[in-house]
Amino acid sequence: MLAAACLLAGGCASFPDEPAPTSWSAQPQLTPQAGPKPELPGEFRPSPGEQGRNQPQTSVPPPQGCKDYHPLVIATCLNTVTGVAPIGADAKGGVAAYATERGGRLVKVTKDVDPVVIAQFEVDASTDGGLTGLALSATFAEDQLAYVYVTTATDNRVLRIAPGDTPKPILTGIPKGPSGNRGALASDRKGALLVATGDAGNPALAADPTSLAGKVLRIDGSGQPAQGNPTAGSAVVTSGLRQPGGLCVSADTQKIWVTDWSANYDAVYRVNPGKLGDAAWTWPDRPGVMGCASLSNVLWVATAKTPSVQNLPMNESGAFTGKPTPTQEDGTGFGRIGPMEQINDSAVLVGTVNKAGGQPVSSDDRVAIIVRSDSEIPGKD
């Protein structure tokens, strides 16, 4: 398989003080039964007589209709992908995944197979809302539960989907407005669900501790405040968001990030209890930051207004050590990217949003894998 190289570059810059580590993660980590492990591009091992990874790569033919010849593309001809989540291996040993479309579909995608509709939701996508968030339960291999964030005619809410059952609302009444309706979901990797909500076009709601708007929330599978939250009985972890683009959690669970579109710039914040505080990084040019992936030595941030992935080099504690370097740009990647979900420390699942203002090719919108090169993967030592 082809590997998408993500070149990191350092630089001299002034950075915010390193945030203090979170102190609300005492809940023991779950150890669910492992599902089938797919063969990932970053773990490719050639068989005898098979072409090695470091040999010259052949050119990839352009898409023909919904047929995309890029080996890292899993699904094609979707419509504004807003969420992705790997669910295990397909019948051929590749990556199988769930994906959401802003218009209301949750689909299962596997390479060279038509998407299978898991659920269809009635959503209001007239503003920046719709179906905008997706996350799996920490024990998905056992219970097959998925969660989505949707905008309805009256509010924004979180729904739980079980196989063969009607979707159940578990968190309702998140304010809806003329903007700020987009939300994001992520597993905290400890059994709880993280929910980033917009301010519904009213910054005062983001500052109001009694409102669910403009917050990062932490809930259990029933929508109740999770155990170990900063304030017992409250789902609120952080307040002050405007239009969140994505949430991501590091594999060691010590770093949680949220991206946001503020009034004057795009930003990524380290999630700590209380108010958002200073941004960890800002983009005055506002490229439309969306999903993110917190790898061992870099934070990847997808952008939905310009074709790129922003690479922020960082140390183990989560402090950035250089300026962001864009990759996947200028026709070398998949165009504009919305959601991201880490597969392992070298591979990330992404969804494109080229149909929402970009320059789509015939196979857009797509679900694909981005892999960083061996030189960018830190050694075990």
Percentage of the chain lying above the pLDDT 90 cut: 77
- Tell me what the pLDDT averaged over the chain comes to: 86
Which residue matches tokens 């807003």? 82
Largest CA distance in the chain: 64
Q: Strand locations in 32-167, DSSP E?
A: 73-75, 81-89, 95-101, 105-110, 113-120, 131-136, 146-151, 156-161
**pTM attached to this predicted model:** 0.86
Percentage of the chain lying above the pLDDT 70 cut: 82
The DSSP output letter for 359 is -
**Residue 37 pLDDT:** 57
Q: What is the pLDDT of residues 156-199, one digit of tens each?
A: 999 999 988 999 999 999 999 999 999 999 999 999 999 999 99
The whole-angstrom separation of Cα 372 and Cα 42 is: 8
Label the pairing between strands 236-239 and 274-275.
Answer: parallel
Quick check: 337 and 352 in contact, CB under 8 A? Answer: yes
Which residue matches tokens 């050639």? 46
In the chain the domains, ranked by start, together with CATH numbers, are 62-376 (2.120.10.30)
> What are 306-310's contacts with CB under 8 Å, separation 24+?
306/336, 307/331, 307/333, 307/334, 307/335, 307/336, 307/337, 307/358, 308/333, 309/6, 309/333, 309/337, 309/370, 310/283
DSSP bridge partners of 350: 340, 368
Q: Is 294 exposed, middle or buried (0-12, 13-18, 19+ CB in 10 A)?
A: buried
Spatial neighbors of 199 by CB under 8 A, at least 6 apart, are 177, 180, 205, 206, 213, 214, 241, 242, 243
